[in-house]
Amino acid sequence: MKARTQVYQIIEKVCLEKAYANLLLRNITEHVPYTTKMVYGTLQNHLLLRYIISKYTKTKEKIMLLLMCATYELLFMETEKYAVINEFVQISKKMHQGQYTKLVNAVLRKINKDDLNLAHLPDIEKLSITTSHPIWLIKMWQKQYGNEVCEAICYANLQDKIQYIRINPMKEVFLNHNIAKNELGYYYKNGNAANDELYKAGKISIQDYASQEVTRFLNPKPYEDIIDICAAPGSKTLHIAEYTKGLSHITAIDLYESRIQLIEQAKKRLGYHNIVTKVADATTYQDNKRYDKVLIDAVCSGYGVLKGKSDIKYHLNNTDMDSIINTQKKILENCAKLVKIGGEVVYSTCTLNKKENEHQISAFVKKYPNFELVQEKTIFPFECDGFYMAKLRRLK
């Protein structure tokens, strides 16, 4: 019962207190594979689970969350039905003074595989519930990318996320049996690479393929002056250092000291000393220096990383975009001027939303004709995260 209680407690904190699932899971020491699968699975399928449970009962949110955990296990995991029902009934009895024991027992006994048949629903509602994406987001993706790509994104977000890694070129690395390679790059097969001795020794780092592509898109060179805006936790900053064999001069800024410390820790772990960090607000940051390359890893809605951040998926809200888009505009306009004439600015987000991506860039180029759009690229989250990147060149 301890494992299922642990799952329920994490789900409560994520859904009711907006805690981060990955941070909570990082602190557990028992039943790790089971708990991880249950937590992410419940969050990724939250609309489907609510839909199924609502056919049998309407109840308070804490009991709904308990029923969601149990329903996910009943429908998606190879566990004895009796064990699932019995233990979640006992959890409800222990944590809610027996008030909902009969309700939990009755509902869970009715749950069956037939509940997954949604053929009777209209197409858009069926896609929304089956993949647990809100209808407003599906409509936006359909309008921006077309029905086929939209559907592919939704189903891709239900797949297990591959944990891609980077190899530190400045250290001698002998890869172990848990590291494999596919057409996109190296990845970690089982467990969390952060617990591997190779990671602790600074020989590998965790970074998704799409995020790594941003550095390759930037194409930094040795001895260039480069600034990374909104840099924490530092994955791209340190990838730039690796890419240039530690020979570029990198400035990394972020809004909070606590997040800057993450970059400092990564510098120390990987052994790079060509990075200067600063606490600064990217919307107002001033610098007398002009850089060869500026990377703006802009704050965004995160619609490209829903596969790996199911807590973001759970809390999706279409009103969040308005303030984000305005902040992006301020950062881009303020920090693009840090680049030298002839230098390049790369603007990147981990979202799939043209209002934050293509439209943001087209508005900037229209307002500032001394910049030209060189190239833009969208990566859809089919085998990795979803990302957008645009390269601008300053003409005068």
292 SS3 class: strand
For residue 114, the Cα-to-chain-centroid distance in whole angstroms is 32
Using a 10 angstrom Cβ sphere, with 0-12 exposed, 13-18 middle and 19 or more buried, the burial of residue 23 is exposed
What separation in angstroms does the CA of 247 have from each of 222, 223, 250, 275, 350?
Answer: 5, 5, 9, 10, 27
What separation in angstroms does the CA of 353 have from each of 104, 127, 129, 210, 308?
Answer: 40, 19, 21, 16, 18
Q: Strands across the sheet with 179-181, in order?
A: 179-181, 186-188, 163-167, 204-206
Structure tokens of 160?
């297990």
For residue 179, the Cα-to-chain-centroid distance in whole angstroms is 22
Residues with a catalytic annotation lie at 350
Using a 10 angstrom Cβ sphere, with 0-12 exposed, 13-18 middle and 19 or more buried, the burial of residue 190 is exposed
Q: Which residues contact 200 (CB under 8 A, 6 or more apart)?
A: 269
Q: Which residues contact 82 (CB under 8 A, 6 or more apart)?
A: none
Q: CA 297, 237, 379 angle in degrees (round to 5)?
A: 45
